[in-house]
Amino acid sequence: MKIIVVNNRKGGVGKSTVSTHLASGLALSGYRVAIVDTDAQGHSAKMFGMPKENGLYRILCEEEVAFQDVVRVVPKERYAPPGYEGKPTLFILPSDKLTVRIPTDNQNPFAFRQMLDAMDELLGLDFIIVDTGPTASMFDGSVNFAANYFLYVTEMAHLSFDGLAESVREMKTLNKQSGNYRTWETQILGIVPNKTRYNTRVQRRSSEELSKEFPGLIWQSVMLATLWEECAKNGQMIFSLDPDSREAAQGYALVEQALAGMAAYGS
Ligand SMILES: Nc1ncnc2c1ncn2[C@@H]1O[C@H](COP(=O)(O)OP(=O)(O)OP(=O)(O)O)[C@@H](O)[C@H]1O
Ligand SMILES: [Mg+2]
């Protein structure tokens, strides 16, 4: 089981859009996948037309709560194209405003990872995709600590790259500091340029700038299109809302690149 944390402190860049589409695309490819929402906005569930819930808070902070009480199965109608015969293999541990009250666990930076491992034991998962929020939360440290991979989402604008560079520095520091405590290092799986405009000079320059700074890690762009907002509004993934669209093709490309990236790292 591999844990992919979708990251960028900047708000509104498309973290939840990418997290949910990567997760559901992997599920459609036959993998068992869970989304864990660590953002108090609770958007991951909303993306599937499901309610925000305090699942994350309860499983981490309340006694005698079982995963069966808080993990939901995502109905396949929310993400699968019509006629899809596979079983639903996508789960979600939702979040809501109580998430901000989850305390830092200084005693045990492994707490979040242990929770994910226990969830895996129960559900037999291939991947856990962690959607993160724009505001720093108390337990960010243990979320980052849990990651096998970071996947960054960024808009193609010069200022957005600042935040990206900062996050990458944080990751390197984390790897250095946790060397004695972990058997793995967090790797950068990729950087997803999102809301990219077709054919403008600024976009081309930004793209060159980004490729120079992060060679080999820049994924195919997800283009700016109102269809993505329609997905969010309808609580549907692009794969079920408009399976033959070029946006759906961009969604499936996320899955291919994630699998290729992990294969390149040898997992
Ligand atoms: N490629 C795109 N084209 C147009 N709209 C997009 C695209 N990607 C995402 N959006 C829209 O932009 C808004 C923000 O996206 P999303 O919620 O995924 O960002 P986020 O990084 O998770 O935000 P937050 O930091 O608040 O968690 C949503 O309305 C979403 O539908
Ligand atoms: Mg979000």
From the CA of 134, the nearest ligand is 1
Instruction: Give the residue whose CA is nearest to atom 6 of ligand 1.
Output: 228
- Tell whether the model's pLDDT for residue 67 goes beyond 80: yes
Instruction: Give the residue whose CA is nearest to atom 8 of ligand 1.
Output: 14
Pairing of strands 90-93, 72-73: antiparallel
Answer with the residue of higher pLDDT: 267 or 225: 225
Please report, for the chain, the start and end positions of each structural domain, with discontinuous segments joined by +: 2-264
Count of CB atoms situated within 10 Å of the CB of 11: 11
Domain 2-264, CATH among 3.40.50.1000, 3.40.50.10470, 3.40.50.300, 3.90.79.10: 3.40.50.300
- Tell whether the model's pLDDT for residue 257 goes beyond 80: yes
Over residues 168-183, the pLDDT tens digits come to 888 899 899 888 888 9
Nearest-angstrom CA–CA distance, 267 and 217 = 17
What is the pLDDT at residue 105?
Answer: 66
- Tell whether the model's pLDDT for residue 189 goes beyond 90: yes
Rama region for 246: left / alpha / beta (φ>0; ψ in -120 to 50; rest): alpha
Q: Is 139 a pocket residue for ligand 1 (Cβ < 6 Å)?
A: no
pTM for this prediction: 0.96
